[in-house]
Amino acid sequence: MAYFKYIPFDRFASLRSGRIRFTQPGAFNDPFEMPAFKAKEAEDMRRAAGLSGLTMQTADIQQGLTQGRIPEAAYIPPIYYFMGLAPPRQEKVVPSVQAIDKLKAIDHEFGILSLSMTADNLLLWAHYAAEHRGLAVEIDPTGAEFNRHTLRDQDFESAGPVKYSSVRPKIPETDEILFQHFFVKSPEWAYEREYRIVRKLESALERKPARPETKAAEPKAEAGGPETNAPERLPVYLYDLPATAIRKVIFGARVVTEQRIALIRETSADPAFGHVKFGEAVLDPGRFKVALRDVTLDDLERSAKSELFQQAVPVMQLPREQA
């Protein structure tokens, strides 16, 4: 199986320098990453018990009266609550303080490397590879050098394909972290065919400060409102990316020939990257798809010479016929 990282063109210099970012869940572009809550389990169990229905009815009535109104629960016979036949209440799920604290801790403990198991997806090229002006870099995450960690968590790693589900995962009210939650996304993201690698942030080789916050005004969420708060600005954590982990570089359809030639020359000049192959994404003339084909420096240099020749030769004009 091949794994690809879609990046803007200039980001490859960082990969070639031996560094790759693992991103905290809270820094992803999808606000549904990880913040899923579960109301306190003890309260759920209490409400599920037989007599708890009567307690719930009493609470509903008392709450309504304190607000100066007669609640609907006052008009329902108590036996309906006891038998579990009362209409369900539409309650807002309120995250416990413990769940919120754990979610905040996750963003300071774990980083995720997102790869794709496909190199020809049009949306990935458009969204993550600078509108086809970037690259899809094939990375082998199975090598021993790539998985050599530092510090005390050197044996930790969790990796696997993302599963796509319409149901958000629930965070338990305990200190346990269920790592399968890192590998669940909405079905709308299924086109990415994502493969993730999770590591502890303390095993990073380099930490950079959080990027400065933009001055654009952001709406504030109401107290107890939906999850609309702006994400916390998080530091950037970089991990070791050995040269052996980079297998191939695929140019986007809009990368100009000069850029391709320069990147291949610079990369091939380093003996550590002598094994790296190159390819290009070519737009299909009849269908909405890209074809992937191998490309060499000789191919590009011939293409560049051909382009120069065509520019240098003046356009031949036929003499006009005399009337």
Please count the other Cβ atoms lying within 10 Å of the Cβ belonging to residue 219: 8
Same domain, 188 and 72: no
Same domain, 20 and 107: yes
3-state secondary structure (DSSP) of residue 249: strand
Q: Which residue has the tokens 């990257």?
A: 273
Same domain, 200 and 179: yes
CB 164 within 8 A of CB 185: yes
Q: What is the pLDDT of residue 54?
A: 55
Q: What is the pLDDT of residue 40?
A: 44
Q: Which residue has the tokens 């599963």?
A: 163
Same domain, 141 and 26: yes
Same domain, 149 and 53: no
Same domain, 112 and 60: no
Same domain, 177 and 150: yes
Count the domains in the chain: 2
The pLDDT tens digits along the chain (323 residues) read: 899 999 999 999 999 999 999 999 888 888 777 655 443 443 444 445 445 555 666 777 777 777 767 777 666 776 565 555 566 554 444 455 665 666 667 888 889 999 999 999 999 999 999 999 999 999 999 988 898 876 666 667 889 999 999 887 766 655 566 677 789 999 999 999 999 999 999 889 999 998 766 544 444 433 333 344 445 688 999 999 999 999 999 999 999 999 999 999 999 999 999 999 999 999 999 999 999 999 999 988 887 777 665 666 555 455 555 54
Q: What is the pLDDT of residue 34?
A: 63
Flag whether 295 is in a domain. no
Domain boundary pick from 59, 82, 105: 82
Same domain, 107 and 240: yes
Q: What is the pLDDT of residue 33?
A: 78
Query: Containing domain of residue 65, as a range?
Result: 41-82
- H-helix segments, 67-189: 78-82, 97-106, 122-128
Q: What is the pLDDT of residue 210?
A: 82
- Cα–Cα distance, 122 to 236 (Å, whole number): 28
* Backbone conformation region of residue 107, classed left if phi is above 0, alpha if psi is from -120 to 50, else beta: alpha
Q: Read off the tokens for 105.
A: 């801790």
Flag whether 263 is in a domain. no
Flag whether 297 is in a domain. no
Same domain, 235 and 143: yes
- Cα–Cα distance, 110 to 19 (Å, whole number): 17
Same domain, 77 and 182: no
Same domain, 236 and 127: yes
Flag whether 272 is in a domain. no
Q: Read off the tokens for 265.
A: 């020359």
The pTM of this model reads 0.72
Flag whether 49 is in a domain. yes
Flag whether 294 is in a domain. no
Flag whether 166 is in a domain. yes
Angle CA(98)–CA(101)–CA(104) in degrees, nearest 5? 150
Same domain, 46 and 29: no
